[in-house]
Structure 1
Amino acid sequence: MNPKELTLIYVWDAYCGWCYGFSKSLQAFHENHPELALTVLSGGLFVNNKKLPIASFPHIPEANKRISQLTGAEFGAPYQRLLEEGTFVMDSEAAAKGLSALRFFAPERSYYLASSIQHAFYYEGKSLSDPATYREIAIANNLDPEAVLARFGDVASTKDAHADFAKVQQLGVQGYPTLLLQKGDELIGLGGGVMTAEKIENRLRSVIS
């Protein structure tokens, strides 16, 4: 099959710890397949009535331990302090707007920008509702920080975030992280969770052979 007929869709949420854990596997797999375009869609894990202080989700510390054990992901001390303090509100809509603003200027680097967003939160303990976070990510990725911040504050990024949420619902994806292969009109699950790059690779081979 022509690789141009195959594309990848990655459904994630910036405030999803399992997505943070999956990022190394996905990066390794993605780097092995530059021929496959990768679209990143924000799922909207903490929106509307789920936009609550982090202490409202008592399962998170234990889940983080499992994520670290199974994937080797490191949670930074500033993030741990946020978790212990408990008042920080995870707002997936603001984070989806942040991704939208960044990827508008570098769509081909969407995955790396998404990964930078998660590093900012889970390692550096930075708010994904704070424009300053996206300024730093823009500078680190050689994007115009003022243009990114203008886009973040614009209604276009809100519409884009909502379009992502709608698309994820349309795809029927209910858990994150989920990596899909689009093969013509067909959508095939390639993996997520704690899958290694090698396992995703094997799954891809079995699907296209």
Structure 2
Amino acid sequence: MNNKELALIYVWDAYCGWCYGFSKSLKVFHEKHPELPLTVLSGGLFVGERKQPIGSYTHIPEANKRISQLTGAEFGASYQSLLKEGTFILDSEAAAIGFSALRSFAPERSLNLASSMQRAFYYEGKSLSDPTTYREIAIAHNLDPEAVVARFADVATIKDAQADFMKVQQLGIHSYPTLLLQRGNEYIGLGGGIMTAEKMEDRLNRVIS
């Protein structure tokens, strides 16, 4: 099988702190492999009964400390205020809809758009349920802000986000972040969590050699 038949699938959630920490390593790795098409799928971490105030998840402050120590990710003062106050609702479906709206205008920049969403939340303390957040991200990425906001409210976008959740379930992925290498009908784990770009590179080389 030649390398033209290889592709990457990244499963993330906008409200996943480990995904925020992993994003820098993933960007470095992806920039080294422009030949590998990348699909970014929203996983749906806080949906249904798990859509709760951030204060309900008492492990988060300690997890954030570990993420910072292990990945160097910075959690901004505005986010820390949200965390301390505790009532902010973690709604992964709204975030997945927002991501779908952005992605529809620039699918080739999906990873950068995902990264901007996580910075908006984890550094700037902005809600990923708020259309204004997507307007700002759209402007930063030279996308049409009004078109993005209109897409955010479109039924087709909701269906697209739900299709992401279904694809992730079909892949059997239950933890985020997860980077997969697709080789034909085979899906091989390449990394996630605290894996460095170098370790992902080693894993890729082992798989394809």
TM-score by length of 1: 0.99
Give secondary structure in 2 for the equivalent of 1:182: strand
Give 1:192's aligned residue.
192
- Per-residue CA shift, 1:113-162, capped at 9, x if unaligned? 00000000000000000000000000000000011011000011110111
Distance 2:94 2:106 in 1: 19
The runs of 4+ residues in structure 1 deviating greater than 6 Å are: none
Q: 1:48: how far off?
A: 0.9
- Which residue identity does 2:194 align to in structure 1? V
Give secondary structure in 2 for the equivalent of 1:188: strand
Give secondary structure in 2 for the equivalent of 1:39: strand
Q: 1:94: how far off?
A: 0.4
Superposition map of 1:31-180 within 5 A: 31-180=31-180
Distance 1:37 1:205 in 2: 17
- Which residue identity does 1:94 align to in structure 2? A
Q: 1:4: how far off?
A: 2.0
Give secondary structure in 2 for the equivalent of 1:128: coil
Give secondary structure in 1 for the equivalent of 2:187: strand
Distance 1:160 1:3 in 2: 29
Structure 1 position 181 matched with structure 2 position 185: no
Q: 1:29: how far off?
A: 0.1
Give secondary structure in 2 for the equivalent of 1:113: helix
Distance 2:94 2:194 in 1: 26
Q: 1:107: how far off?
A: 0.5
Give secondary structure in 2 for the equivalent of 1:194: coil
Distance 1:79 1:99 in 2: 20
Give secondary structure in 2 for the equivalent of 1:90: coil
- Which residue identity does 1:157 align to in structure 2? T
Query: Kindly, what percent of the aligned residue pairs are identical?
Result: 79
Give secondary structure in 1 for the equivalent of 2:93: helix
Distance 2:60 2:33 in 1: 33
Give 1:5's aligned residue.
5
Query: Tell me, which stretches of 5 or more residues in structure 2 are unaligned?
Result: none
